Amino acid sequence: MGHPVGRTSRDVAEPDLPPGQRLQRGWPVTHYGPVPKFRPERWEFRVFGATADGEKHCWNHEEFSALPYSSVVGDLHCVTKFSMLGAEWGGVLARDLLALAPPAPQATHVMVWAEYGFSSNLRMADFAAERTIFATHKGGELLTAEHGFPLRLVVPQLYAWKGPKWVRGVEYMTADRRGFWEERGYHNVGDPWREQRYSYQEEPGDGPEL
């Protein structure tokens, strides 16, 4: 064991980086459009679409803040090639939300909706993954406005655009539909380990026809 002579510890730590990614010191801010202003009295989180009971489920900010709190460790991989590894995220697990507002059996995908109509589509399996989390905190501290306060989705096993900041709801879908970046040339699935960056790389079954 130990590090091979002549190599730095950085070299041996890289297996956590997906192909084509590089480590980023600090935490840059990346998004399209302005940072929305948080108005607690107008904020609500909605789960709608193909729910098991056919109803829409809503939480105001106070109610959402009272949901079970969990934390996970997960990476952010931006498709522009920087990665942040091993961040600790706190908030509500997507799994817990699925239990609180169950989808109909026919629901196969979700659209995650954020302020200003930003959206991102996910396969139900990615949404229900162990570490998919609606984060309110990072490293034990509340998110800042530019990083998504009061709520952002983190899906550690996919590229970071799959996790909207300023998230406001989830639509359960019985067929796949492209979200904001998925309609604009990015891969429908977005697995960084398979380097699924762009829609031209898609194979049959990866997403709806373009």
Ligand X SMILES: Nc1nc2c(c(=O)[nH]1)N[C@H]1C(S)=C(S)[C@@H](COP(=O)(O)O)O[C@H]1N2
Amino acid at 26: G
CA-wise closest residue to 147 among 162, 164, 159, 133: 164
Q: Can you tell me which of 72, 78, 85, 145 binds Mo ion, judged by CB under 5 A?
A: 78
> Is residue 166 part of the contact set for ligand X (CB under 6 A)?
yes
Contact 136, 153 (CB under 8 A): no
Among Mo ion, ligand X, none, residue 193 binds (CB under 5-8 Å by kind): none
Nearest distance in Å: CB 42, Mo ion? 28
Between residues 49 and 148, which has the closer beta carbon with respect to Mo ion? 148
Regarding beta strands 167-173 and 109-114, do their DSSP bridges make them parallel or antiparallel, or are they unpaired? antiparallel
| Calculated CA dihedral for residues 24, 28, 31, 35, nearest 10 degrees | 160
> Is residue 163 part of the contact set for ligand X (CB under 6 A)?
yes
CA-wise closest residue to 119 among 64, 62, 74, 166: 166
Q: Can you tell me which of 49, 150, 164, 190 binds ligand X, judged by CB under 6 A?
A: 164
Nearest distance in Å: CB 149, ligand X? 10
Q: Can you tell me which of 17, 18, 31, 191 binds ligand X, judged by CB under 6 A?
A: 31
Q: Cα angle vertex 165, ends 159, 168, to 5°?
A: 125
Among ligand X, Mo ion, none, residue 28 binds (CB under 5-8 Å by kind): ligand X
Q: Can you tell me which of 118, 127, 149, 172 binds ligand X, judged by CB under 6 A?
A: 118
The two tokens of residue 91 are: 């908030």
Amino acid at 68: P
**Rule CB under 5 A: which residues touch Mo ion?**
30, 78, 160-161
